[in-house]
Chains A and B, each alone.
Chain A
Amino acid sequence: MSFEPKIVAFLCNWCSYGAADMAGTSRLQYPPNIRVIRFMCSGRIDPNFVLEAFLRGADGVMMTGCHIGDCHYIDGNYKTVHRYEFLKNYLDIMGIGADRLQLEWCSAAEGQKFSEKVTEFTERIKELGPSPLKAGDE
């Protein structure tokens, strides 16, 4: 059987969740590999959540939020960026791989972009293969 990655997607309530909604109502197709978790703001994504996702078997994690300057809470997504940069370094040193984490900005009108990004990311994780944290599990 071909490898179907498990991807956890953290979506912010105001923009990216709206984008996912838009993708749905517009009947846009994207791979069913993402598991959506809704946050009030991408700034609420504690690095621990990303870590736990990986530790509990995610092959990739997507963080999405409003574009810079459009955050519902004004500067919540500034924090997201700093955490994302930090986490990338961490995942790289740990050996999980920085490629398995992705940050995207999707406004509520960008259903098209959301479905494209999810497709792209799923393809990338398929290429990378299962998370090294799961090695020896099967």
Chain B
Amino acid sequence: MSETYWGWSNDEDIRKRGESGGFVSSLVESLVGEYDRVITINKTGTVFEGKVVEVSDPSEVKNIQGALHSLCISMSAYIKKGVRTAIVLKPCDARAVIENIKRNHASRDEVLLIGLNCGGTLPSVDTMKMIGLEFHIQPDEVVKEEIDKGNLVFITKDEEFSKSIDELEESGYGRRESCRYCDYKIPSVCDIACGNWGTPSGKNMTFVEVFSEKGAHVLGSARERGFVSVKEPSEKLANIRSKINSSMKKMAKKWKGKVLDSLMDLTPEERLRVISDTLSPCIGCYACRKACPVCNCTSDCKCMQMDPDDDLPISQYHAVRLLHLMESCIGCGNCTDVCPVDIPLARLHQLFARTYEDRTGYRPGMSVDDVPPLSRGDYPEGY
């Protein structure tokens, strides 16, 4: 099922402050008390910094910040078994939650996923550097940043700076690499997906898509209690939304061809050489394992007992991680972010996962009913 609306907050203050009519803030406000934990992100200082918070008092909602593109926090870590949790997250986080649910780390009934449409996130440090070089402004001068019609926009107190993302990415800035070839922009695995694509300009509204009965129930209850209002979207703007989505996907496909498929075009020997050379600077800090939202062996994790710095051609640690993530990598890019020696790990994991997806159609994090290939035990056809 899927129903679409334009929604906005009934609280004038939140509506004015919020990025797109404050719909998400007010929806979150309506959930406080209904769920054991309500989790979202707060801005701390500049738009490049923030932290994960548990909202326990409705008044705290005023600090919630809309889309912080330069903040890539993995939200799936905040889901716990037996705790009813409502969480606001981006599409890759939502897929990570689904992968965790598949492996029995939570139950789908206990979590309410409020997804945000995502055109990609920015690496915070590089972006701060970039705005200094390109626009000659300081990071703390920026009061708002957004991605609009293929442009990256930074707004200071008195000026607006924008530049095409394509151009920035050609010169090595722009979105994180894993976001460039990510083709999952509207989080359809969530209960509700919100975004600013397909909203009338200047009207301060959020485009809301409801995907599940639970989502419809939550939205209905928030409307009844007067937190949010919704109305039917115009067909024209709903079409624009799907057009933005498909053009984003097209762009992702182009990047996938450039970054991932080009590796598959190499001869096997060359590819093996590239993989082992890419991994060779590893210092064995296990940060990629710890930051990975879908890596979920707990205390008996075998990877943590393997030496990433062993003398094998490709360390067993990385070989096993590449193997396991081939069926579960959702392409969040956390591993690349945390690597202290800048190994593009997400590129390798996505090379395996996306190629496997192309061949077999198995895509991790899309449904709790999909059985991961390594866990399958059903009758094999053709053997």
Contacts and interface: CB of A to CB of B under 8 A. Distances in A.
Interface in A50-74: 51-52, 55-56, 68
A132 interface: yes
Contact of B316 (A52, A81, A82): A52
Contacts, number: 89
B268 A56 contact: no
B272 interface: yes
The 4 A-B pairs of least Cβ separation, nearest first, read: A95-B272, A95-B268, A81-B380, A95-B271
A132 B269 contact: yes
Contacts of A48: 302, 316, 320, 323
Contacts of B322: 90, 94
Nearest to B271: A95
B351 A55 contact: no
Contacts of B383: 68, 81, 105
Interface residues of B, number: 35
B314 A55 contact: yes
Contact of A51 (B266, B316, B360): B316
Chain B at the A interface: mostly helix, strand, loop or mixed? helix
B326 A89 contact: yes
A86 B374 CA distance: 7
22 contacts: A47-B374, A48-B302, A48-B316, A48-B323, A55-B316, A68-B380, A75-B377, A78-B376, A78-B378, A79-B376, A79-B377, A82-B377, A86-B327, A86-B373, A86-B374, A93-B356, A94-B352, A96-B272, A132-B269, A133-B272, A133-B313, A135-B269
Nearest to B313: A133
Contacts of B320: 48, 51
Given A68-B383, A81-B383, A86-B374, A55 B359 contact: no
Contacts of B356: 89-90, 93
B377 A90 contact: no
B323 A51 contact: yes
A83 interface: yes
Contacts of B162: none
Chain A at the B interface: mostly helix, strand, loop or mixed? helix
B373 A85 contact: yes
A134 interface: yes
Nearest to B320: A48
Contact of A82 (B271, B273, B351, B376): B376
Contacts of A81: 380, 383
A95 B271 CA distance: 6
B355 interface: yes
Interface in B42-61: none
A15 to B, nearest CB: 14
Contacts of A56: 312
A96 B352 contact: no
Nearest to A135: B269
Given A86-B326, A90-B322, A78 B269 contact: no
Interface in B292-348: 302, 312-314, 316, 319-320, 322-323, 326-327
A94 B275 contact: yes
A47 B322 CA distance: 12
Interface in A102-119: 105
Contacts of B313: 55, 133-134
Contacts of A68: 379-380, 383
Chain B CB count within 10 A is highest, among A55, A68, A87, for A55
A49 to B, nearest CB: 11
A51 B319 contact: yes
B377 to A, nearest CB: 5
Nearest to A86: B373
Contacts of A133: 272, 313-314
Interface in B365-383: 373-374, 376-380, 383
